[in-house]
């Protein structure tokens, strides 16, 4: 069984990005600059944004963090987004989710210029991905694709089953795994919570990508022996034996599934660390005008 180590791979990608930034500095070019907007005081959001800012420093990027009160109006937030859109020094913009209920995520996402949408969430970038055009692929799907590539997982002609149809992971993964590229060229089945006979379908998968958001939903009975299993889920569960008082688990019952899988991502340390590395990669593409000339 191969352990697909996202932590190690993400550090390799960051080192590659840092090397390119060092070259840009020597060439006298523009240093990539990522801006993040954080609304309110959500603890998890603060942690995620803090990790992104720290990673920017690690690879030599410039970063800007805009903090706004939870009471900020939708109009005020849209104005901040537009100001960053018009700032030529900033290459990438992310708006940390979730947003307060009085603000439309759709409106805010749609306000971000596609050229600066390094999260890959705007309709323009999702459309480009669906058409197979160069684009910023959203961070988690890109991270999964990169793990498959770097671990040389064969995908052509394989049956890929995706569990979960979110716009952030499941749906884009189904498109990416079916495209005429590597990784890709799979026959893809997209399943979800309403799918009948889900266990029977998942057991036919050569590659199983699980992004349902339910702790340890996938058990050994749902997985074919020798399958490649990608676990996107992450959940905190109480564990008094841990100093923190909790442990992290995924959507896959790891202890059951790992012995029969050919390769599997752990939780933590699998897909999760790849998201920030992917975000940095997209920001580098933006700074170098590789996608939008």
Which active-site residues does the annotation give? 52, 96, 119
Q: How far apart are CA 262 and CA 224, in angstroms?
A: 10
Q: Three-state SS string across 63-107, please?
A: EEEEEECCCCCHHHHHHHHHHHHCCCCCCEEEECCCCCCCCCHHH
- 194 exposure class (CB count in 10 Å sphere: 0-12, 13-18, 19+): exposed
- Give the CA distances from residue 250 to residues 165, 196, 231, in Å, rounded to whole numbers and listed in that order: 17, 22, 6
Classified as helix, coil or strand, 260 is helix
- Give the CA distances from residue 238 to residues 38, 184, 243, 254, in Å, rounded to whole numbers and listed in that order: 28, 38, 11, 17
Q: Is the peptide bond before 98 cis (omega within 30 degrees of 0)?
A: yes
Cβ atoms < 10 Å from Cβ of 204: 12
**Residue 56: HSE in the Cβ half-sphere, 13 Å Cα cutoff:** 23
């Amino acid at each position: 069984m191969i352990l697909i180590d996202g932590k190690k791979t993400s550090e390799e990608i960051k080192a590659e990005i840092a090397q390119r930034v060092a070259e840009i500095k020597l060439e006298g070019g523009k240093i990539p600059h990522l801006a993040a907007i954080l609304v309110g005081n959500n603890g998890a959001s603060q942690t995620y944004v803090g990790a992104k800012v720290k990673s920017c420093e690690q690879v030599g990027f410039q970063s800007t963090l805009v903090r706004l009160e939870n009471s900020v109006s939708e109009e005020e937030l849209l104005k901040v987004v537009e100001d960053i859109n018009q700032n030529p020094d900033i290459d990438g913009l992310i708006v940390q989710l979730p947003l307060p209920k009085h603000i439309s995520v759709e409106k805010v996402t749609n306000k971000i210029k596609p050229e600066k949408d390094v999260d890959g969430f705007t309709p323009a970038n999702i459309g480009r991905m669906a058409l197979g055009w160069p684009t910023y692929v959203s961070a988690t799907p890109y991270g999964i694709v990169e793990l498959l590539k770097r671990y040389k997982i064969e995908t052509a002609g394989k049956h890929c089953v995706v569990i979960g149809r979110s716009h952030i992971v499941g749906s884009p993964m189904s498109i990416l795994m079916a495209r005429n590229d590597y990784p890709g060229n799979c026959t893809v089945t997209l399943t979800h919570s309403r799918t009948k006979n889900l266990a029977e379908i998942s057991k036919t998968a050569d590659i199983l990508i699980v992004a349902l958001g339910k702790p340890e939903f996938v058990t050994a009975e749902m997985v074919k022996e020798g399958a490649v299993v990608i676990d996107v889920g992450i959940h905190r569960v109480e564990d008094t034996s841990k100093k923190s008082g909790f442990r992290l688990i995924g959507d896959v019952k790891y202890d059951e599934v790992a012995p029969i899988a050919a390769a599997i991502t752990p939780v933590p340390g699998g897909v999760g660390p790849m998201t920030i590395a992917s975000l940095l990669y997209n920001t580098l593409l933006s700074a170098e005008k590789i996608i939008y000339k």
